[in-house]
Structure 1
Amino acid sequence: MKEQEVQFRKRLQDLARTAYYREIPVFTDFLDLNELHMVHSFRPEETGVTICTFGGYEEAERQIAAFLPDALSYDYGENEEMPLSMYPIRCIRISSLSKKFSETLTHRDYLGALIHLGIERSRLGDIVIKDQDAYVFCHAQMEEFLLQNITRIRHTTVKVSVVTDPADLPKPRFQEIHGTVSSVRLDAMIALAFSSSRSSMLGLIEGGKVFVNGKMVVSNGHPLKPEDIVSVRGYGKFRYDGMAGTTKKGRCSVTVQKYI
């Protein structure tokens, strides 16, 4: 195990102990897919805590983990997660002051501008682009700093506002893809979703860059179930909707929803 992973797991143990002994919820910063995989494989029952994760909106990729002492988790009931409003997450919207003179800005442009301000990536969640606006999820402690310091993205002058109404938060958008595969194994489904060959996907799976429902999967033949969400680093993610039937040649007719 890499030293970085060892240190991260020790950090999880420390957070769990703090939550347990002080009987308070304790939070991580925003975690990437590798870190979330380690969180999901962590055994909270051995530390007397329950772990929940959330990224600010439905199916966010970067998420914060909350460690709840058992005494607190019981207050929410066995099947209920921690109230979303209790996570230290805020969302700000970045809009150009003049749509007429604004550039077409990308995720990389927004992230680069934020990192240039000296902000650590772990303090930032997902950045969602929608209708020329960017929705930036951040740690609550960063909200005021971002409001005061974001004035320009590349050559575009921008304004920043806080998103307070949950109805205004970005919703996932999808591209529906239909196709046939020999089976619903992971390599075949990834190849369909990203218009590639199964052989070209093998290195991604074996290299630990593919996650199913937040957990790393390194088996090419891992079977998918309906509603599984697959994330591939460097490519994107998709949701497997299910199989509609089989063709005369015995191939599976499937549908996936690729996030766009």
Structure 2
Amino acid sequence: MEKEEQLLRRRLEELAGTSYQRDIPLYSDFLNLNEQTIFLSMMSSLPVACRLEGGYDLAERKIVCFLPVREQDLAKPPICVIKIAPTAPKFARPCTHRDYLGAILNLGIDRGKTGDLLLDGNVCYCFCLPSVSGLILEQLVNVGHNPVTCRLADDIENIPGPSFEEITGSVASERLDAILALAYRLSRGKVGECVSSERVFVNGRCVTANSHSLREGDVVSVRGLGKFIYKGSGSLSKKGRTFVTILKYQ
């Protein structure tokens, strides 16, 4: 077991134990997909009820909520949503997810304090913990070359979720290399280069085996190419190939 995993397990156990002993709700920092997998593997051994929350239904980064019995149906996760918009929209240059994340982290904020960043045109919605919301609201004044204004989002329900391109096709099997070739229209050789150069991650964990089998719901990212959700397989073609569906982030 790697040291980072040991530290995470210890921290989650401490939070669960304190929540149980003091009978109060407690919350972790935001976890990536790999860290969530670690949490789920140990959840049944924790002394209190737990659930993952990210601020919206399709959230990727989530916090763990440790909840005493009396709080299980009442506790609202402590997640703030900050709307980041250009001060002069007419003259604003396009900014990427990396631009927004870099500007936020440059304030000295740890990545674990921030969740997903959702882009809607030239506006970004940042999910974060209350402990850093004030800093972002007061100190984030530029993203890229754009002066920006930050405020708490009024109506969280109307915040747009991520948009996807649905890709369907047939593959010989649900091997990682076959699905990657379909998702990014790459040759098997190019796919092999991506995998061997440690650019491919499944649920936040680096995968270096072309033969790795994907399962429904797996989130796959390739550095430099993007990210998709594998939705699973369907019927077989007359030639015995498997039809699969992919939701590719746009």
TM range (shorter): 0.7 to 0.9
Secondary structure at the residue paired with 1:29? coil
1:134 maps to which of 124, 142, 152? 124
Larger deviation, residues 188-197 vs 215-224? 215-224
Instruction: For 2:80 and 2:67, locate their aligned partners in 1 and report how far apart those are by CA, in whole Å.
Output: 20
Say if 1:87 and 1:127 are closer, same or farther in 2 by CA, change over 3 A: same
Say if 1:32 and 1:221 are closer, same or farther in 2 by CA, change over 3 A: closer
- Alignment gaps of 5+ in structure 2: none
- Count of paired positions: 245
Say if 1:221 and 1:121 are closer, same or farther in 2 by CA, change over 3 A: closer
State the Cα distance separating 1:243 from its structure 2 match. Answer: 4.0
1:183 maps to which of 163, 173, 178? 173
- TM-score, reference length from structure 1: 0.82
Instruction: For 2:200 and 2:2, locate their aligned partners in 1 and report how far apart those are by CA, in whole Å.
Output: 14
- TM-score, reference length from structure 2: 0.85
Instruction: For 1:183 and 1:203, locate their aligned partners in 2 and report how far apart those are by CA, in whole Å.
Output: 20
Say if 1:188 and 1:161 are closer, same or farther in 2 by CA, change over 3 A: same
- What letter corresponds to residue 140 of structure 2 in structure 1? I
What is the root-mean-square deviation of aligned Cα atoms in Å?
2.7
Deviations 1:157-199 (A, max 9, x none): 1111211313322212111112210123444223322333353
Partner of 2:98: 108
Instruction: For 1:63 and 1:143, locate their aligned partners in 2 and report how far apart those are by CA, in whole Å.
Output: 16
Say if 1:135 and 1:2 are closer, same or farther in 2 by CA, change over 3 A: same
Larger deviation, residues 22-31 vs 235-244? 235-244
- Alignment gaps of 5+ in structure 1: 77-81
Q: Percent identity?
A: 36
Deviations 1:20-53 (A, max 9, x none): 11112211011122322211111x3333222211
Alignment of 1:209-224 (within 5 A): 209-211=201-203, 220-222=211-213, 224=215
Say if 1:233 and 1:141 are closer, same or farther in 2 by CA, change over 3 A: farther
State the Cα distance separating 1:143 from its structure 2 match. Answer: 1.9
- What letter corresponds to residue 4 of structure 2 in structure 1? Q
Say if 1:144 and 1:90 are closer, same or farther in 2 by CA, change over 3 A: same
Instruction: For 1:204 and 1:256, locate their aligned partners in 2 and report how far apart those are by CA, in whole Å.
Output: 23
- What letter corresponds to residue 192 of structure 2 in structure 1? S
Whether the aligned pair in 2 keeps the contact of 1:34 and 1:216 (CA below 8 Å) is no
Instruction: For 2:98 and 2:54, locate their aligned partners in 1 and report how far apart those are by CA, in whole Å.
Output: 19
- What letter corresponds to residue 148 of structure 2 in structure 1? V
Whether the aligned pair in 2 keeps the contact of 1:107 and 1:127 (CA below 8 Å) is yes
2:229 maps to which of 233, 236, 239? 239
Say if 1:8 and 1:182 are closer, same or farther in 2 by CA, change over 3 A: same
Whether the aligned pair in 2 keeps the contact of 1:36 and 1:215 (CA below 8 Å) is no
Partner of 2:32: 32
